[in-house]
A and B are shown apart, each in its own frame.
Chain A
Amino acid sequence: MKHVASAVCSALTIAFVCGTTPASADTLRLLTWGGYAPENVVAKFEAETGHTVEVTKSNNEEMIAKLRATGGGGFDLAQPSQDRIAGPQAEFGIYKPIDLSKIDSAQFITSMLEATKANTTVGGEIYGVPHVWGTSGLVVDTKKAPSVKDYTDLCNAEVAGKVSYRLKRPTLIGFAFAMGLDPFAAYGDEAAYKAVMDKVEAKLVDCKPNVKTYWGGGDELMGLLRSGEIVASMAWDTGGWKLNADMPDITFVAPASGALGWVDTFVLPAKGRADDAAYAWINFVMQPEIAAMITEAAGNFTASKGADAFADEALKVRYQASFPAEALDNIKWYPPVPAGLEAIEGGVLDRVKAAK
């Protein structure tokens, strides 16, 4: 009986204490990628502002699927890529506009902020500001597969059975560019885009015997490369640089047809409850020192002005080795995906998967 009484007491105490905490301290429910909210940054933010942060790790598709399922509820701040904001917003209305007056825009690299604002505008309202950017291209064991210079080289006979890629849209886009097509130019025209995708589909079906397996997650890919079971893959730049630290032969190579550039953003879900905490988080992580801490955890650079000065030297060296000036200019930045293209791509991916 005594135990029960004390349990009731403590429950009451907690309720009482919780009920009387000042309204300014909120819980920020953050839907983000692995590495974008490292523990040391979260701890510093909590100590400085009094807000608490709940981090949920996810990816583009799952973020949108989760927000769609609740009509934009359940989270206060999300981080999809900039090309996946305008389409889902027009279709499902899962975000709310960003109040730029609450954001310290001086902390952002101006060109990147302007580009993201333009790409995430729906009906005259701006829905996203940039956070972390990077590219996807090729991770290659330069000793064992020196011939792999572009996406289509993954289909070469000398690397048969030793390559991997993801069966997702970046692969379709990358192969299209490597085949001399321009999928981004065809974005506005469903028929033209379908024609581009049909050619890519034929190429990927031809290439299938070369593939060991289609990788699903970053860890799976790391395992395949580390064990030497594959020697070349389509992957993110950070994956290549991480492996490069342990195995000098393996590194990220910007493909001849151009690496694909992505920018992950901050967006406010339509039914988010802690907007103040969300704005506080955005302004907090864009400070150069904090941004450098995130770069260290995620491996990618941020849109924070001046954060480069605080970044790890070894990472900078790898970055410069993978991206000579002309490769940097050749990066193909994803434009916003118009609603409806995913259905075309989905059909292509399903048929490639089913091909024998």
Chain B
Amino acid sequence: MRTQAKLGLFLLLSPLLLWLTLLILIPHVDMLLVSLRERIGVGQYQTSLANYFTFFSEPLYLRTFVRTAVMSIMATAITLLIAFPVSYYIAKMARGRVRSALFLLCLVPFWVSELVRTFGWMILLRETGVISKLLQYLNLTDGPVELLYNDAAIMVGLVYTSMLFMVVPLVTTLESLPDEVIEAGYDLGGNGLSVLREIVIPHAMPGIVSGCIVVFMLSLGNYLTPTMLGGKDSLWFTELIYSQFIVRFNWELGAAFGFMLLILSSTIVWGMLKLTGQSLEKTMG
């Protein structure tokens, strides 16, 4: 009986274990090994930490690394600021049909691929694009305005592409907050601000944290949006990884970069959880 239960458990677990080992563990181990290789001649390699040394000794790589992290954190913060009122309205104020319609509106842009969404922004922002034409038509500017190819355009793109991933967890947690609790808060003499601070935000904390983690990860690992909207000054860490692997044939350095990115994102997420006093079990469970 007992062995049978064990077998059953093993069989049930095996797809998950296969997934984890074959698709996550083995590639990462392989990448770690590649990143520890140094090319010393045609087709000759030796084990060394040279690639990590290159990463730390070249200011450009470190700067791009920090820049990517800072911009991703900013994108996460802006997404949260925009998504919170939207989610609150959807979860608490809208009713019935309006509510489904609003939720659907958040979802609609995600029916097309990320590439198309980014192209949409390019059409709007470019020098001969919609916004530039409109401003000229309204006589607000003399000549065409270039809104594309700068950091603000990257930020707009990042916030737009990750909005949904913040709205969904927020709506779910806010929905579970009973209206009576908010009313009780007002009955006890609270005003809008104190109710928000003492009741709504603490209740929504798991949603905020899990939304932030997802949005941060998506921004950090985004390749398309920074490359297309950023133009000549777009400098994103994933772009460096891509060019090391594909353009320069330097898999060793690319793998080292990949590992640094993994360490960076894990550290920041861990720091964020510590800072907010949340644990991964509480937010994900």
Contact = CB atoms under 8 A, between A and B. Distances in A.
A68 B249 contact: yes
B246 A65 contact: yes
Given A339-B42, A350-B240, A351-B60, A227 B128 contact: yes
B175 interface: no
Contacts of B61: 350
Given A65-B245, A68-B249, A214-B232, A90 B42 contact: yes
B28 interface: no
Contacts of B176: none
Nearest to A342: B248
Contacts of B148: 213
Interface size class of A (residues with CB under 8 A): 20 to 34
A326 interface: no
Interface in B133-186: 146, 148-149
B192 interface: no
A229 B149 CA distance: 13
A208 B235 contact: no
Contacts of B247: 61, 168, 342, 346
B149 A91 contact: no
A102 interface: no
A353 B251 CA distance: 20
Contacts of A213: 148-149, 231-232
A346 B248 contact: yes
Interface string A299-330: 00000000000000000000000000000000
B43 interface: yes
B283 interface: no
B222 interface: no
Nearest to B59: A354
Interface residues of B, number: 29
Interface string A50-79: 000000000001101100100000000000
Contacts of A91: 42-43, 249
A346 B244 contact: yes
A353 B128 contact: no
B64 A354 contact: yes
A62 B244 contact: no
Contact of B63 (A228, A340, A345, A354): A354
Q: In this complex, which of B127, B146, B250 has the most chain A Cβ atoms within 10 angstroms of its Cβ? A: B127
A342 B253 CA distance: 13
A353 B58 CA distance: 14
A211 interface: yes
B243 interface: yes
A117 interface: no
Interface in B92-117: none
A216 B227 contact: yes
A229 B143 CA distance: 12
B126 interface: yes
B251 to A, nearest CB: 8
A342 B249 CA distance: 8
Contact of A212 (B63, B231, B245, B251): B231
A88 B43 CA distance: 10
Interface in B193-243: 227, 231-233, 235, 240, 243
B41 to A, nearest CB: 9
Interface string A332-356: 0000000110110111011101101
Given A211-B232, A216-B227, A229 B246 contact: no
Contact of B249 (A65, A90, A168, A356): A65
A346 B243 contact: yes
Contacts of B128: 227-229
A354 B63 CA distance: 9
B54 to A, nearest CB: 10
A168 B126 CA distance: 24
Contacts of A353: 232, 235
Nearest to B61: A350
B246 A61 contact: yes
B60 A350 contact: yes
A46 to B, nearest CB: 31
Contacts of B232: 208, 211-214, 353
A213 B146 CA distance: 11
A349 B244 CA distance: 11
B231 A90 contact: no
Contacts of A227: 126-128
B51 to A, nearest CB: 12
Interface string A208-248: 10011110100000000001110000000000000000000
A212 B144 CA distance: 14
B127 A64 contact: no
B16 to A, nearest CB: 27
Contact of A342 (B42, B149, B250): B250
A343 B42 contact: no
Contacts of A340: 39, 42
B250 A229 contact: no
B44 to A, nearest CB: 10
Given A91-B249, A212-B232, 10 more contacts: A68-B249, A68-B251, A208-B232, A213-B148, A213-B149, A213-B232, A227-B128, A346-B243, A349-B243, A354-B235
Interface of A: 61-62, 64-65, 68, 88, 90-93, 168, 208, 211-214, 216, 227-229, 339-340, 342-343, 345-347, 349-351, 353-354, 356
27 contacts: A61-B246, A61-B247, A64-B249, A65-B246, A68-B249, A91-B42, A91-B43, A208-B232, A211-B232, A212-B146, A212-B231, A213-B232, A214-B231, A216-B227, A227-B126, A339-B42, A342-B247, A342-B249, A342-B250, A343-B248, A346-B250, A350-B61, A353-B232, A353-B235, A354-B60, A354-B63, A356-B233
